[in-house]
Structure 1
Amino acid sequence: MKVDQKGHTVTIKDTQGDINSFLEKVMQQFKTFEKQNIVIDLTAYSSLPEADVKLFLPLSKQHKKAKKSFVVVVADFDFNSVSDKLTVVPSLLEAHDIIEMEEIERDLGF
């Protein structure tokens, strides 16, 4: 697991190739990141089943309740198949754009 922090956003990248152990590590260290926006970088996977991506839904719900952004980055994925409660995008650039838009919305009171 590689953690990269820039400003108010932390990007967490899986470096081991095992989605379940990665999710477990993220959950164990979640308190460390809870006050920042989170980007989960899963671009290392060439293909990822929808069920594996949905494993991050409980963390996303918890993080969004705390008024912070939670975005999952998956390169090759059917983005329409995931719940609207989980934000999934194809690139890190789009993830950071989403976070900036959500920050503006929060600042404006939406």
Structure 2
Amino acid sequence: MKIDKTDRYYRLSLTENELESDVEGFKDFFKQFLKNNTNFKNVNLILDFSSIINIDLNKILLFSQLSETHRKNNKSFVIVCKGIEFDEIPDEIVAVPTLKEAEDIIEIEDIERDLGI
């Protein structure tokens, strides 16, 4: 798992090794995420899967409960993915096709939280 920190969010993505090993690499990423989830509890998160071409919807759905919990803690949880039907993704998960859109979502949600919306 690769972690890039900014002042507004953490961006988590797969390492080159995880990408190369495809299914097993994604499983490793998911296990590491679960193991370290408490470290991310108080930060806005972007899970960047844009390097995976046509990611399987079932992989995205693995994060459904984690997304809900994170959002209940008043933090953003956004997944960046490409090659997927966004209409098929449940409302509990915020998914967008680009990192820029993920950053925009976090900015909007931060403003809404500041305004009490």
What's the TM-score once normalised by structure 2's chain length?
A: 0.90
**Distance in 2 of aligned mates of 1:43 and 1:25:** 19
Q: Choose which of 41, 52, 57 in structure 2 pairs with 1:45.
A: 52
Would you say 1:79 and 2:86 are equivalent positions? yes
Comparing 17-26 and 70-79, the one that deviates more: 17-26
Percentage of matched positions with identical amino acids: 34
- Larger Rg computed on CA atoms: 2
CA distance in 2, matches of 1:97, 1:55: 24
- Cα distance between partner residues in 1 of 2:91 and 2:71: 12
Displacement over 6 Å in runs of 4+: none
Aligned length: 110
RMSD: 0.9
* TM score, norm. by length of structure 1: 0.96
The runs of 5 or more residues in structure 2 that have no matched partner are 20-24
In the aligned structure 1, how far is the partner of 2:2 from the partner of 2:59?
Answer: 19
- Return the structure number with greater helix share: 2
